[in-house]
Amino acid sequence: MRSVLWMLVLVWVPIVSASPPPAVAPSSWTRGLSQADTVRVDTPCPAVADGLQRRAPDTLAAGTNLLEVAPATAGSTAVNVVVEIPAGTAEKWEVAENGRALAIEREAGRLRRINYLPYPANYGFIPQTRLGTEAGGDGDPVDVVLLGPATPCGAVVRARILGTLRLVDNGEQDDKILAVRPRSPLGDVRGIDDLQDRYPGVLKILETWFVHYKGAESRSRGVGGGEAARSVVREAARRYAGPAGR
């Protein structure tokens, strides 16, 4: 019996080891890229929101302009959020400049993968907002860290603002709005103080991650409250609606 088992092992192992890796079909999105760039994505965004389609391993095409898909605010304390990166993801997804796709960011020509722990929360942006460069912003939409379980790439969800993680990245203001989805885990948290009291350590985890995941480029200026965060969003929405905002 033992000799039969050894025969099975000897036959089975070469078959498995000889199987080639799955090929990536060429397309207009991947043509011209090296093989390493097109196949080294480990099941990126396994969950994708309705309305988005995979065009390549590193690209999701949107049926609408994600930068304008919903108004910035959804009531006095809530905002709309477009999720670019689900919690637990290591690939750095971002919205295209025209808002019509989500794609993995490239750095020196290669797909960017976080060389650190994966994202500890969902990450995205508030549509129809723009941080003015003259005020120290980066000219992009307002970034949001959405606490809770992983949410699909490209999902548009309503979230309650808790406060702001105040960061500086390469000398530029790079604040992150902290928010939670109502009727979800942590969804009954009402603000920064409530989060600290009920879930001690969460803010420190987020601050540590965002300061260190890119190396020595970022620093923290602490945490701001809910009203300060809502003020940032209102001002960014006003700038977007202005003549030079879009």
Q: Which one, of 242, 238, 205, 236, lies nearest residue 223 by Cα?
A: 205
Q: Which residue bears the tokens 């980066």?
A: 138
Average pLDDT of span 152-165:
96
Q: Which pLDDT score, from 0 to 100, does residue 245 have?
A: 60
* CATH number at 71-90+116-241: 3.90.80.10
At 19, is the pLDDT very low, low, confident or very high (cuts 50, 70, 90)?
very low
pTM over 0.95: no
Range in 8-12, 196-200, 236-240 with the lowest mean pLDDT: 8-12
CA distance linking residue 176 with residue 81, whole number of Å: 12
Greater confidence (246 vs 235) lies with 235
Q: What residues contact 98, with CB distance under 8 A and at least 6 apart?
A: 65
Ordered by start, the domain boundaries in the chain are: 71-90+116-241
